[in-house]
Each structure stands twice: as C-alpha cells, then as structure tokens.
Amino acid sequence: MTMNKVWDKLRKKNRTNYRQFQFCISFAVMLISSFLMMLMSPLVQNTLPTGGDSRTQIYMIFAIAMAGCTIFIIYATGLFYRFKSRDIGVFLALGTDKSKLTKATLAETAKIVAAYSVLGIAAGSIFSLFMGKIFQLIASRANDNKFAFTAMGFAGSFLYGAVVFLLVMAVMIRFMGKSNVMDILNQQRKQEPLKKTVTRGYLISGAAMVIAGLLIAFVMPTVVTKLFQHWMGAWTNLFYLLVLLGLYRIMVYSIASHRRGRNPQKYYNNVISYGMLKFQGGSIVRNMLVITLLIMGGLFASYYVPMTMSGLDGWTDIYEAMYNYRYPMNADEVTFEELEQLAAEYDVEIQDYREAEFVAVPASGIRSENWDENGNLIEEYEDRFAVNECIGASEYEELTGEKADVADGTYYMIMAPGTQESVFHMFGTMDKLYLGQSDEYLDMEYQGNVSYMSLAIGFGFDGEARYLISDRDYEVLKEGLDAEYIIKQVLFDTENSENVLDFSRTLFEQFVLRMSDNMNYISYYNELEHEAEGENYMYNQPAEVIADNPAAASDWKYAPMFVYMEEEYSLLKYAVYFLLFIYVAVICLAAVGIISYTRSQSVGISSRQVFDDVRKLGADKGYLQKLLKVQVKKVYVLPTVVGCCGMAVFELLMLFMNDGSYSKGEIQAMGAMAVLTVCVVLYQYLIYRMSLKKVAGMLELN
C-alpha cells in the first residue's frame, strides 16, 4: 500500500464530490468559452455595429455572466475542499509532511482543473459551432457573415481557463496554508455565521445604497447631459457597485434578521428555519447575489427582442409613399418609362407617381460630437458644415400635396414625424446656404419643421438634414450647379399585390446596379469633411450594398425605401441580433439553474445534521419536509423576486429616460416583457421543484 494508492482509494470513495467539482469547472468554462466563441465570431463581430448599444449591452451581460461563473467556481472549490478537509487533516495529524501533502493535493487539483477546463472549452466550442450554424442558417438571407472560430475566441477561452486555474490554486494554497491541523479537520463542519445582530438599519442602508447607486450611475448622468450638455464621464458607472453592495445588505438582512416582533407566533413557527438559514453563512448570500445578477442579465438579454420588435411594429405606417428613392441627376438611374415597363412585367400598377428635384449645397451648422476634458459638450459652428439637400416650396407642394408657404431667406427642416432635439442635435442651427463651391451664400433663418416621413433622411440632422426653402432661393442655389448636385426624388405607390415583393426586388437590383460612383458611400459620408481631410478621411467607404440581396443589412447613403419589401425583411435584418440575445439569455439562465441546483444540494448536505437533530426531537416527516422547503426556497425566491423586479424597474426607467414618456409600442413591449418574466419565474419554479426532490432524496425525506 503506497500513498498514491491510498489517495486513489479515497478518490474513488469520494467520487460524487470529485464529479461535482469537475462538473462545476467544466460547466462554467463551457458557458464562458461558448459565449466568447460566439461573440468573437465574424457572424457577430461584423453584424453588431462598432460602438453601438447592442454591442455594449452584450459586453455588459458577458461581464455579469463571467463574474457569476467565477464566483460559482470559487464556491465550488470551497465546497470541494470542505469535503477533502477531513482526509487531509487526518494525514496531517498522523504526521504526513505538510509540504508533501500540499504538493500532492496541488498536483491532483491542477490535473483536474486543467483537464476539465480544456473539456469545458471543447464543449463550449462545439456548442457555439452548433448554435452559430443555426444562426447562420436562419439569418443567411439578411446576413452574409458566417460563423467561424477565431483566434480571439480561443485566446479568450484559454485565458479564462487560466484564470480559473489560478483561482482554484489560490484557494487551495490558502486552504493548505492553515497552520493548525484542527482548523483543517474542522473545516468540514465549519459554518460561516452571518452577523447575529443585523438591524433594520442594515436593511434601510441597503435599500438607500441601491437607490443612490441607481440615481448616481443611471439617472443623474442622463439628466445632467440633457439639462446642461455636460457629460459626467464613465466614473458614474462605478456607482453600480453601490447597487450591488445594497443588494448584498438586503439579502443578508433577509437571511439573518428575524425578530419576534409583532407576530411572535409566526416567528416561533419558523424559528428553526431562521436559525438554520443564519448559519448557512455568507456563502448563501453570495450565491443569491450571483443568481440575482444572472437573472437580471438573462432578462435584460431576453427583453431585447420585444424592445426591438416594439420599434418595428407599425414602423412603416408613417410612410406617405410606399416607394421612395433619390439619386443625383448624373446617375443613369431607372426612368419613369423603365419603371412602368418593369411594373408591367410584374403586373403591378404604378400609382400616384411624382418626382421633384432637390439641390445639394454646402450648408453651415454646429458640430457637436465630442466632449472636452471637463466633460462639457464641444459645440463648434462651421460655415461649411455639410452638404445638405434643399427643395423649393412649389416642388414640395407638388410632391406632398401639402401647402408650403416659405418666405425668401427662411427655411423649414424636413423631418420624420415626432423628431425631437437632443444634446447632439438641435433644430435650426443652419444659417448659410452656399452657392455651389463658391464663397457666396444666402443668409437663412429657421422657421420651423415640416413633417414628411418619405422625404426625411435618417435622423434628419447634420449630413442628413433636408431643407424646404422658397422658390426664389431654390433658383438662386440651382444656378450653375453640376448635375451631380441636383438630386431627383421619386415617390410613388402600388397596391400590395402578390407580385410587389418581386417587383421591389428587381427595382432595387436595377437601382443598385445603375448607381453612379458618387452614390456609393456610407450614410455618414460628408463630402466637405472628405475635401478638408483628404486621404485621412475615415468615412470614405463604399456602401457594400448587394444588388440581388436587399435583405442584407447595409449602410448606404442613397438607400431606397420600398415599404412592402422592408416590412418583409425587417425581422430578418434583426435575426442575428435576436438570436444572439436569446443565446445570451439562455446561457445566463442555464447558469442560474445550475448554480441554484448545486446550492440547494449543499444546503441539504450542510443541514443534514440539523435535520437529524430535529428528527430526534420528535419532528415527523411532514414537519421536516416543510423545514426543507423553507431552506431550499430561500435559494430561489428572493433572487428571483429581486432579479425580476430589479430588471423591470431598470427597463421602465430606461424607456422613460429615452423621451420622458411611454409610446404605444413600448407599452406593448412591456406586456411581452411581463410574459418573459413570468417564463423566468416558472423556470425557477421548475428548478426549485427538481432541487427540492433531489435534496429530499438526499435527506431521505421523500
């Protein structure tokens, strides 16, 4: 009998504990690596706009999931060593050299963590490949990006594996560093009692921290930016930690503070449960906090779909014309005759066709894109800020059928209905329209806005601004302009027959194939900036629009708007976003399930002695089952309530902060979010029932 054989035998005897530890390591690493593989794949990287909200949100949820998995691993490691402590303690007590024992334990743990981290990465890769291919299949009509493994994905996964490895080793070294044999021997029985005297003040301070954290980190920056055009900086995000700390205090209070109070009978009826919970220790609260955060992350991700859908629902209703497109006159674009011919081919009738001309001229404006070092918005007036398109009043009336009365030297902005000013964008900042490339200009005065969705471009500000001016000013500006600066605007309708989609696709294809070189730019392209910056100008990029795939997402300055076709493809364009957020929600909720399930088991294991004691004192099975229910419920109820309510409050606040009100679409989205929340609650209930059954089996209470 050698020492190694003794170890082997002990390992076999404690197979369940080893398996639990191995599972926890590989599961956590699998979740994170599958997340990373997916996140770093070209399918996601090339789809999510750089610096966009979706990307930021995904990274935020990823950070939560990673924190959750890491805390889970630390917890699982602690649990594993609690099981091992007795064996290690006995060896030490019998005179085994501590350094030898440490080395052997270290080597054994290192082998387990390394092997199961690699297994986790492999499983994560396979899972992400499987899901990635499904994404690709669903979104292929709208998205040409493919799922592929990347070096970054693997590097991130292995880096996380390495972090896990180091963390587990650190926990182990700390554990073996205990000098006292009795400490090690007693580790298995050791509880982590929470503070015995947690007062109501502890709860109130916790709630105050949550509120203060939310106010400082979330509400205040938005309000200050809106009111004072002052960006407070990223430091306010640190106050989210205050929210966490507050939540921790609330949870500690829920576990540790039970008083006889005004309902002593209720207190005594539950006094055994209260006592048991208090001695579950800090680890139960940490677990509850992690579960809460992961529920919030999962819900936040799952809310993305209804939130986006609410923006899509009925979004085409506000278009006055079912088809609109524009192009510079130097382009060999589809003529009216060709359009009619195409319509005839598809048995589609062109209705209410109208066209008009805009002139594209340099205009003044205020550039407000950046913040200075003090966090104040930099607003710089520029004489020649952007090339903007202007239309004369008569042409506008013909095009829209709306009366336009515009005095010389004044203008209206043509906006989408309901457009509001923001910190970056103000109405009426233009006061000069230049006569082509010359230094001569017309002084202009802002009179207000006209609303016409089919004529508005993008957000209607900066390079996308369009102005309604008087006929005389229009003629002055048009004088001597090259054809490339005269923009033809076409609007028409058709009935929504079965062929309109094919007709729209062909028209789109023709429109793209026949565009001129000066049309092939992304929407952010600014000709004046390009001239000023020359080679260094970064937005001098082709639009990469695909003629025969109108569903493919693209960013094109001259993108036409064919309403029937857009309605058909809008969901498809968001498919990758939807799938990614659903995937993230599933990962977070899977982690919630596993952590809760594991925690419930350890509640059972650590409470075994108390259950035996209470049984000996005369409690029957029914009473013990009731007691167990309370214990296991605690793992689920509070995190689910706080997670669901917390996320609901955050979303409601976010929707409200956007524009100070709730739109019809947003209210509909709230309904869908409520349904999703109920699904999460039901999921938690299901896991709770499974956990209860398992733990009751462990304690022979079934």
Partner 1 sequence: MLNVNHLYKSYKTGNVTYEVLKDVNFKVDEGEFVAVMGPSGSGKTTLLNCISCFIEHDKGEIKLKGRELSKLNEKQIAKVRNEDLGFVFQDFMLLDGLTILENVCIPKVIKEEPYRVMEEKAKGLLKMFGILDIADKYPAEISGGQKQRTAVARSLMNDPLLILADEPTGNLDSRSSEAVIGAFLEAQRELNATTFMVTHDSFSASYCDRVIVMKDGKVYTELKSSGNRRAFLDELLSVLKNLNGGESNDNE
Phi then psi for 359, rounded to 5 degrees?
-110, 140
Residue with tokens 């091992």: 84
DSSP H or E stretch at residue 407: none
Helix 575-616 with 271-278: angle, nearest 10 deg: 120
Which structure tokens are listed for 622?
Answer: 């029914």
- Which amino acid is residue 486, in one-letter code? I
Among 278, 326, 478, 573, binds partner 1 (CB under 8 A): 278
Contact between 264 and partner 1 (CB under 8 A)?
yes
CB of 275 to partner 1, least distance (A): 3
CB of 270 to partner 1, least distance (A): 9
Contact 666, 303 (CB under 8 A): no
Among 56, 180, 186, 269, binds partner 1 (CB under 8 A): 269
CB of 630 to partner 1, least distance (A): 13
Residue with tokens 């390992």: 11
Contact between 5 and partner 1 (CB under 8 A)?
no
Distances (CA, A) of 121 to 111, 282, 593, 603, 634: 15, 31, 20, 29, 32
Contact between 603 and partner 1 (CB under 8 A)?
no
- State the Cα–Cα distance between residues 417 and 449, nearest whole angstrom: 10
CB of 2 to partner 1, least distance (A): 28
Contact between 130 and partner 1 (CB under 8 A)?
no
Contact between 702 and partner 1 (CB under 8 A)?
no
Contact between 401 and partner 1 (CB under 8 A)?
no
- The pattern of x and - marking residues 431 through 470 that bind partner 1 according to CB under 8 A reads ----------------------------------------
Contact between 259 and partner 1 (CB under 8 A)?
no
Contact between 188 and partner 1 (CB under 8 A)?
no
- State the Cα–Cα distance between residues 508 and 411, nearest whole angstrom: 32
CB of 277 to partner 1, least distance (A): 7
Contact between 274 and partner 1 (CB under 8 A)?
yes
> What would the 3-class secondary structure string for 164-179 be?
HHHHHHHHHHHHHCCC
Nearer residue to partner 1 within complex by CB, 63 or 271: 271
Residue with tokens 């191995």: 22
Nearer residue to partner 1 within complex by CB, 264 or 401: 264
Among 272, 285, 433, 500, binds partner 1 (CB under 8 A): 272
CB of 193 to partner 1, least distance (A): 7
486 alpha carbon, distance to own chain's centre: 42
3-class secondary-structure state, position 493: strand
What is the sign of the dihedral through the CA atoms of 447, 451, 455 and 457?
A: positive
Contact between 196 and partner 1 (CB under 8 A)?
yes
b/e map of 547-571 (b: 16 or more CB within 10 Å)? eebbbbbbebbbbbbbbbbbbbbbe
Measured from the Cβ of residue 25, the count of other Cβ atoms closer than 10 Å reads 27
Nearer residue to partner 1 within complex by CB, 482 or 613: 613
CB of 78 to partner 1, least distance (A): 19
Nearer residue to partner 1 within complex by CB, 264 or 542: 264
Burial class (CB in 10 A: 0-12, 13-18, 19+), 7: middle
Nearer residue to partner 1 within complex by CB, 622 or 660: 622
Q: What is the dihedral of CA 695, 696, 699, 702, to 10 degrees?
A: -150
Nearer residue to partner 1 within complex by CB, 92 or 628: 628
Quickly list DSSP for 570-594. HHHHTHHHHHHHHHHHHHHHHHHHH
Contact between 271 and partner 1 (CB under 8 A)?
yes
Residues 605-664 that bind partner 1 (CB under 8 A): 610, 613-623
CB of 640 to partner 1, least distance (A): 24
Measured from the Cβ of residue 246, the count of other Cβ atoms closer than 10 Å reads 21
Which structure tokens are listed for 279?
Answer: 């001695």
Nearer residue to partner 1 within complex by CB, 200 or 260: 260
3-class secondary-structure state, position 162: helix
Helix 621-659 with 271-278: angle, nearest 10 deg: 70
Contact between 386 and partner 1 (CB under 8 A)?
no
Contact between 268 and partner 1 (CB under 8 A)?
yes
CB of 607 to partner 1, least distance (A): 11
Nearer residue to partner 1 within complex by CB, 267 or 315: 267
Segment interacting with partner 1, rule: CB under 8 A, options 13-21, 277-285, 462-470, 524-532: 277-285
Nearer residue to partner 1 within complex by CB, 277 or 561: 277
CB of 693 to partner 1, least distance (A): 20
CB of 617 to partner 1, least distance (A): 6
Nearer residue to partner 1 within complex by CB, 461 or 611: 611
Q: What angle do CA 237, 239, 244 make, to 5 degrees?
A: 115
Nearer residue to partner 1 within complex by CB, 405 or 620: 620
Nearer residue to partner 1 within complex by CB, 158 or 274: 274
Among 28, 92, 277, 457, binds partner 1 (CB under 8 A): 277
- State the Cα–Cα distance between residues 607 and 245, nearest whole angstrom: 27
Residue 94 has what DSSP assignment?
A: T
- State the Cα–Cα distance between residues 200 and 252, nearest whole angstrom: 11
What region does 246 belong to: left with phi over 0, alpha with psi -120 to 50, or beta? alpha
CB of 190 to partner 1, least distance (A): 11
- State the Cα–Cα distance between residues 43 and 63, nearest whole angstrom: 20
CB of 616 to partner 1, least distance (A): 6
- Which amino acid is residue 199, in one-letter code? T
CB of 696 to partner 1, least distance (A): 15
Segment interacting with partner 1, rule: CB under 8 A, options 265-273, 317-325, 380-388, 411-419: 265-273
Nearer residue to partner 1 within complex by CB, 535 or 620: 620
- State the Cα–Cα distance between residues 465 and 414, nearest whole angstrom: 7
CB of 314 to partner 1, least distance (A): 57
CB of 188 to partner 1, least distance (A): 15
Among 49, 52, 193, 417, binds partner 1 (CB under 8 A): 193
Q: How many residues bind partner 1 (CB under 8 A)?
A: 28
Among 191, 237, 351, 658, binds partner 1 (CB under 8 A): 191
- State the Cα–Cα distance between residues 231 and 217, nearest whole angstrom: 12
The residues that touch partner 1, with contacts defined as CB under 8 A, are: 191, 193, 196, 264-265, 267-269, 271-272, 274-279, 610, 613-623
